């Protein structure tokens, strides 16, 4: 098994670097944004369950389960959105840089600076979209408001990046200290060492931007999806019972689970859970709208004329609530709509179920996202009942990612006490 992991890991790094080089050359040749190729390549191999089969159980066992145990023992109220952010950030760091941030372990100590910086930057980007350009540019010039936060966010990202680079370079200067697994499983080591594929290592800023993009794309979206999923579940206790029954049948036939011994492929058997996640993503897509600008003048199917100056906003959030797309019951949480008469998953076209975008820009981490979410949800639902603090306000944040403005406060009650 270990050997198989290693083979897939090498393939990942090679494909990642090869596609980076292809993307880069296409970009310079045509002046077009071809970075999606890079991410498609990354995902193609990262999607290998063999590869992530090591990382996910590791961080569940060493990070999530002990933390949940502590929280439930102490009976304290926890911000689930923050917890999910830490978990997904830990995962994202391992695939992006190989670095273990121990972010789950410091829940009681400090705010996790990097994800917070990303959140602040996302809010500033949202503000740039909705307020007049002259206004945010003035704010930037004066160094006030969201623009000040944006600048501070970059300082934190740069600091984080400098630290990652120095850790990595120190390890690389003493190759004996790099574990085989680390060398295989993360993108940064690939950038720095596989000159045979990639030629020269790209500039620090290019690496920083790509790695930051990967961290952001993995962490913010998945933690947002998990938060809205548990919020919806609290309003639909019948679905919680159904998921729990399914998990016991296919994943954890025994009582309390302290070690995640499940084979991640078993997660594919959880049809109802998959349906419930799709339903949560339909109602609360982590990327609630997407902006596109035509490369040349064109006519939309609606008859609208568009050109290079037209910004087209496609709102996945609104689409999920349109009766013309999902039927009269579009506002209801109904996992059943995703299940066929034969009991399988009903697949919907990506331009209808738009949470992961569609076409060449479809999210390359979709399958990983599902696996991550299923692993964490099954662990929580089998061992605990999540009791939300009823008086806590749950409202969306104004940002480019649909997060909860005040987090999701809850108690975690053990089912096996």
Q: Which stretch binds ligand HEM (CB under 6 A): 198-206, 338-346, 359-367, 406-414?
A: 359-367
Is 185 an interacting residue with respect to ligand HEM (CB under 6 A)? no
Q: How far, in whole angstroms, is CA 239 from its chain's centroid?
A: 23
Q: How far is the CB of 185 from ligand HEM (least distance, A)?
A: 12
Per CB under 6 A, the list member of 57, 190, 365, 407 interacting with ligand HEM is 365
Phi, psi values for residue 351, rounded to 5°: -80, -10
Q: How far apart are CA 101 and CA 182, in angstroms?
A: 14
Show the binding pattern over residues 63-102: x = contacts ligand HEM (CB under 6 A), - = does not. Answer: ----------------------------------------
Is 207 an interacting residue with respect to ligand HEM (CB under 6 A)? no
Residue with tokens 């620090």: 204
Q: Which stretch binds ligand HEM (CB under 6 A): 101-109, 238-246, 280-288, 296-304?
A: 280-288
Q: Which stretch binds ligand HEM (CB under 6 A): 109-117, 211-219, 227-235, 377-385?
A: 211-219
Please provide the DSSP assignment of 169-211 as one string: HHHHHTGGGS-HHHHHH-HHHHHHH-HHHHSSPPPHHHHHHHH
Q: How far is the CB of 21 from ligand HEM (least distance, A)?
A: 17
Q: How far apart are CA 407 and CA 398, in angstroms?
A: 13
Q: How far is the CB of 135 from ligand HEM (least distance, A)?
A: 24
Of residues 18, 235, 215, 252, the one with CA closest to residue 121? 215
Of residues 323, 317, 386, 378, the one with CA closest to residue 353? 317
Q: Is 292 helix (H, G, I), strand (E, B) or coil?
A: strand
Q: How far is the CB of 259 from ligand HEM (least distance, A)?
A: 23
Is 35 an interacting residue with respect to ligand HEM (CB under 6 A)? yes
Is 218 an interacting residue with respect to ligand HEM (CB under 6 A)? yes
Contacts of 281 by beta carbon, 8 Å cutoff, 6+ apart: 225, 353, 355
Q: Which is nearer to ligand HEM, 78 or 373 (CB)?
A: 373
Which residues, numbered 132-161, are part of the site for ligand HEM (CB under 6 A)?
none
What size, in residues, is the chain? 417
Q: How far apart are CA 236 and CA 409, in angstroms?
A: 17
Is 212 an interacting residue with respect to ligand HEM (CB under 6 A)? no
Per CB under 6 A, the list member of 51, 217, 376, 410 interacting with ligand HEM is 217
Q: Which is nearer to ligand HEM, 51 or 71 (CB)?
A: 51
Strands 305-306 and 298-299: antiparallel
Is 286 an interacting residue with respect to ligand HEM (CB under 6 A)? yes
Q: What is the DSSP letter of 339?
A: B
| Tokens read off for 173 | 């200067």
Q: Is 93 helix (H, G, I), strand (E, B) or coil?
A: helix
Q: How far apart are CA 339 and CA 181, in angstroms?
A: 38
Is 357 an interacting residue with respect to ligand HEM (CB under 6 A)? yes
363 is in an annotated binding site: yes
Q: How far apart are CA 128 and CA 338, in angstroms?
A: 37
Q: What is the number of other CB atoms lying within 10 angstroms of the CB of residue 116? A: 14
Q: Which is nearer to ligand HEM, 202 or 213 (CB)?
A: 213
Q: How far is the CB of 354 from ligand HEM (least distance, A)?
A: 8
Q: Which is nearer to ligand HEM, 258 or 321 (CB)?
A: 321
Is 225 an interacting residue with respect to ligand HEM (CB under 6 A)? yes
Q: How far is the CB of 269 from ligand HEM (least distance, A)?
A: 20
Number of residues counted as binding ligand HEM (CB under 6 A): 25
Q: Which stretch binds ligand HEM (CB under 6 A): 33-41, 71-79, 191-199, 401-409?
A: 33-41
Q: Which residues of 253-287 are buried (b: 16+ CB within 10 A; e: fewer)?
A: eeeebeebebebeebeebbbbbbbbbbbbbbbbbb
Per CB under 6 A, the list member of 213, 314, 315, 345 interacting with ligand HEM is 213
Is 20 an interacting residue with respect to ligand HEM (CB under 6 A)? no
Binding residues are: 363
Binding residues for heme are: 363
- What is the binding site for ligand HEM (CB under 6 A)? 35-36, 39, 46, 213-214, 217-218, 221-222, 225, 281, 286-287, 290, 355-357, 361, 363-365, 368-369, 372
């Amino acid at each position: 098994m270990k050997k198989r992991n290693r083979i897939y890991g090498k393939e990942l790094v090679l494909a990642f670097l090869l596609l980076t080089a292809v993307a880069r050359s296409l970009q310079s040749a045509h002046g077009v944004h071809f970075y999606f190729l890079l991410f498609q390549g990354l995902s193609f191999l990262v999607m290998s369950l063999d590869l992530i089969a090591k990382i996910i159980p590791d961080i569940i066992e060493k990070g999530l389960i002990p933390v949940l145990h502590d929280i439930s023992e102490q009976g304290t109220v926890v911000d689930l959105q923050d917890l999910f952010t830490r978990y997904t950030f830990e995962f994202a760091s391992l695939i992006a840089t190989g670095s273990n941030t121990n972010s789950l372990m410091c829940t009681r100590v400090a705010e996790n600076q990097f994800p917070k910086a990303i959140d602040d930057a996302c809010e500033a980007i949202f503000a740039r979209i909705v307020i007049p350009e002259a206004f945010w540019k003035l704010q930037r010039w004066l160094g006030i408001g969201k623009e000040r936060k944006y600048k501070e966010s970059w300082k934190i990202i740069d600091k984080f990046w400098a630290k990652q680079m120095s850790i990595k370079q120190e390890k690389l200067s003493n190759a004996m200290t790099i574990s085989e697994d680390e060398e295989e499983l993360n993108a940064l080591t690939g950038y720095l060492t596989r000159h045979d594929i990639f030629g020269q290592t790209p500039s620090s800023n290019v690496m920083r931007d790509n790695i930051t993009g990967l961290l952001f794309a993995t962490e913010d979206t998945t933690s947002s999806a998990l938060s809205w999923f548990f919020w919806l579940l609290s309003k639909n206790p019948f679905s919680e019972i159904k998921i729990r029954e399914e998990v016991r049948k296919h994943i954890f036939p025994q009582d309390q689970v302290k070690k995640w011994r499940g084979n991640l492929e078993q997660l594919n058997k959880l049809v109802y859970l998959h349906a419930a996640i799709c339903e949560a993503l339909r109602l609360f897509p982590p990327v609630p709208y997407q902006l596109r600008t035509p490369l040349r003048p064109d006519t939309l199917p609606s008859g609208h004329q568009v050109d290079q100056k037209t910004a087209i906003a496609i709102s996945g959030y609104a689409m999920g609530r349109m009766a013309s797309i999902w039927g009269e019951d579009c506002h209801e949480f109904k996992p059943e709509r995703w299940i066929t008469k034969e009991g399988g998953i009903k697949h919907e076209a990506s331009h209808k179920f738009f949470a992961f975008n569609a076409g060449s820009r479809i999210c390359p981490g979709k399958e990983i996202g599902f696996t991550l979410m299923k692993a964490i949800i099954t662990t929580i639902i089998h061992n605990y009942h999540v009791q939300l603090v009823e008086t806590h306000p749950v409202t969306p944040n104004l940002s480019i990612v649909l997060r909860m403005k005040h987090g999701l406060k809850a108690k975690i009650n053990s089912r096996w006490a």
